[in-house]
A and B are shown apart, each in its own frame.
Chain A
Amino acid sequence: MRPIEYASPRTKEQAVRLLASTWGETAVLAGGTDLLSLLKDDVIAPRRLVNIKEIEELRGIAFDPRKGLRLGALVTIEELLDDPRVRQHYSALAEAAEGIRSPQIRNMGTVGGDLCQRPRCWYFRAGFGLLARDAQGRSLVLHGDNRYHAILGNEGPAYFVSPSSLAPPLIAYEARLRLFGPGGTREMPVQAFFRIPQSEEEREHDLRPNEIVTEILIPPPRGEASATYEVRQREALDWPLATASVALQMDGDRVTAARIVMGHVAPIPWLSPEAAQTLVNKTITEDVAQAAGEAAVRRARSLGRNGYKIQLARVAVKRAILRAVQGGAR
C-alpha cells in the first residue's frame, strides 16, 4: 500500500469537502473490507482516505410500519442481520445478509459499502481496468477465463458481475438510495444507482467522486411474500455464483405483481420484468416457478466458460419464488 493521508470528519458536509472532484485522488473509508484490498493490490492509489465512520447521522436502523425501513449507510451487515424487524418484514434482505458468511466481514462491512464495493472480476483486480482490455483493446474476458463473468447484459464492453449481496433484495423491495455531495442530497431508486460502464472513464455506479451514500430507504411492508436464494460453490466466505431475490404482491394465493432481481449474473443487479410478468395472476406452483426461471434467462448468453451459470440463475429464480411462498423454508 502506498503512503496515504487520513482524515476523520464529523459531518457529511466536511466529508464531501475533503473528497476530490475527480476519481483516484481520494477514497471513502467505511468498513474497509474491500477498500484495503484495493489499496494493497494497487488497483487504486489515492492520496487521501476520508474515514466516514465518525459521522453519527450515517448510523442507525429505523422502522415505522407506515414509513418503512431506514438504514444509515454505516449500518453493518451484522446489525442488519440481528434486527428482528428486518427479518420479520424484509426476509429477502435478511437472507441476502446471511449469505455474507463471514462474521468478521459482517461486523466490519456496511450496507453502503456493500452497494459501493468494486467488482471481483480478476482482470479488474489485477489492474487491467473495469473493462479489462489488453494493449490492443481486446477484451481479456472474452479471450481469457470468464467462468465467473456475466451471462446477462454482456453485450460489452463490460463483462464483470455486480458483487453486491444486498442490491437484489433492495431493488425487489423498490428501495431508494440517498447520496450527499457538495451540491446537496440526491435520491434515486437503488436500481438507478447501478449502470453498465461504456468506457474506462465510467464506473459501475452513478456516484460522483465527492459524493457519499448516506441512507437506504425501503418502502413499508405490503405483506409481500419475499425471499432470496443463492447458488454457491462454497458454504463459507465466498461470493455466490448466482442469486435471485423476489418480492411478490399476493391476493390470497394469486400473485398480483412481482419483482424479480438476479445478482452476480450481469454488470448490474439484473431486474427481470419478463420473469415477473409470467407470475402475474398465477398461483405459485413448481411449474409456474420453473417457467419464471426460464423467462429470467431467456436472453442469457455464455461467454465460453460460464454457460453453467445460466442453469444456476434459472434455478435461483425458481427456488427464490418457491421459498417466498413457502414462508422462508430453507
Chain B
Amino acid sequence: MRDRRPSDERAASLSRREFLKISGLSLSLPVVTDFRVMRVAGAEVKIFGPGKVPVTLNINGKAYTAHLEPRVTLLEALREEFHLTGAKRVCDRGTCGACTVLMDGKPVYSCSVLAIDAQGRSITTVEGLMKDGRLHPIQQAFIDNDAQQCGFCTPGFVVACKAFLDKNPHPTPEDVRKGLGGNFCRCGTYMGIRAAVLQAAHMQKGGASHD
C-alpha cells in the first residue's frame, strides 16, 4: 500500500458541508462554463460564454485545447495560450498583416478572427512552414535577398508570400506588387521581399517540391 500524501489526507477529511461551500464558491467564479442551450425557431442553439469555454484548434497539424472566452482572438490564443509567437500583434485591427496565418490554406489576419470561430479549420502559422528542420523555400529566399530589417513584419510577410505563391505559382513582378497588398513593412524592405518571392517562384518552377 502506497503512502498517503498530505493532500489526500485533507481531501479525505473534508466534511460534506465544506465540500458544498468550496464547490459553491467555484461556481460563482468566472470559470469554465461550457455553454447553455437556448430554444429558438424550433431548434436548440448553444450559447457560449461570456465566460471561458473549451476551444480546440488544429494548428500546424496538431490539436491544441484551451479554455478561452469567446472574445479571445485567434492571434491572442496563438501567442498567449499556445506560445506560438511567430504571428505578431502590431495594429490588431486587420490593417498591417503582421499576424497573418493560413486558415484552410488561405491567408487571414489572425487578429480579426475569434479563436472560437477558428475551430474546425486547419491553421498554419509561420512555425508550421519548416519541414524536417529545413526552411521553406520562401523563408530561405527572404534570407538570400536580405528581405528584412527589423524583422517584425517578416513572419506575417513570409506566410502571406507562401499563400500568394500557392495561388500564383508563376507570378510577374506586377502580380507580386499587387498580391502582397495586405502586408506592410515600415522599414520599407519591399524590394527585397518582392525579389524573394520571385526567387521562391523560380525555385518551385525548377521542381524543388515543398508543401
Contact = CB atoms under 8 A, between A and B. Distances in A.
A201 interface: no
Interface in A231-255: 235-237
A104 interface: yes
B44 to A, nearest CB: 9
B73 interface: yes
A10 B177 CA distance: 40
A8 B46 CA distance: 7
B40 interface: yes
Contacts of B73: 36
A36 B48 CA distance: 17
B179 A103 contact: yes
A108 B177 contact: no
Interface residues of B, number: 44
Contact of B109 (A14, A39, A49, A104): A104
Nearest to B36: A5
Interface stretch (B6-14, B110-118, B198-206): B110-118
A51 B113 CA distance: 12
Contacts of B40: 9, 13-14, 17-18
A103 B160 contact: yes
Contact of B48 (A5, A14, A33, A78): A5
Interface in A289-328: none
A51 B108 contact: no
A36 B112 contact: yes
A222 interface: no
Contact of A3 (B47, B71, B178): B71
A235 B184 CA distance: 11
Interface string B36-79: 00101111011111110000000000000000011101000000
Interface stretch (B94-102, B129-137, B138-146): B94-102
Contacts of B186: none
Given A36-B111, A103-B160, A236 B181 contact: yes
A47 B51 CA distance: 12
Interface in A26-59: 29, 32-33, 36-37, 39-41, 47-49, 51, 53
B179 A6 contact: no
Contacts of B92: 40
Interface in B167-202: 177-184
A29 B117 contact: yes
A7 B181 contact: no
Given A6-B49, A6-B116, A32-B113, A104 B182 contact: yes
Contacts of B93: 37, 40-41
Contact of A33 (B45, B71, B94): B94
A104 B126 CA distance: 15
A11 interface: yes
A51 B46 CA distance: 12
A39 B38 CA distance: 24
Contacts of A105: 94, 109, 182
A321 B140 CA distance: 46
The 4 residue pairs across chains A and B that have the minimum distance between CB atoms: A102-B182, A101-B181, A3-B50, A6-B70
28 contacts: A1-B71, A3-B51, A4-B69, A4-B71, A5-B49, A5-B50, A5-B70, A6-B47, A6-B48, A6-B70, A6-B114, A7-B45, A7-B46, A9-B41, A9-B45, A11-B41, A13-B41, A14-B41, A17-B40, A33-B112, A40-B93, A49-B114, A101-B181, A103-B181, A104-B97, A107-B103, A108-B113, A236-B183
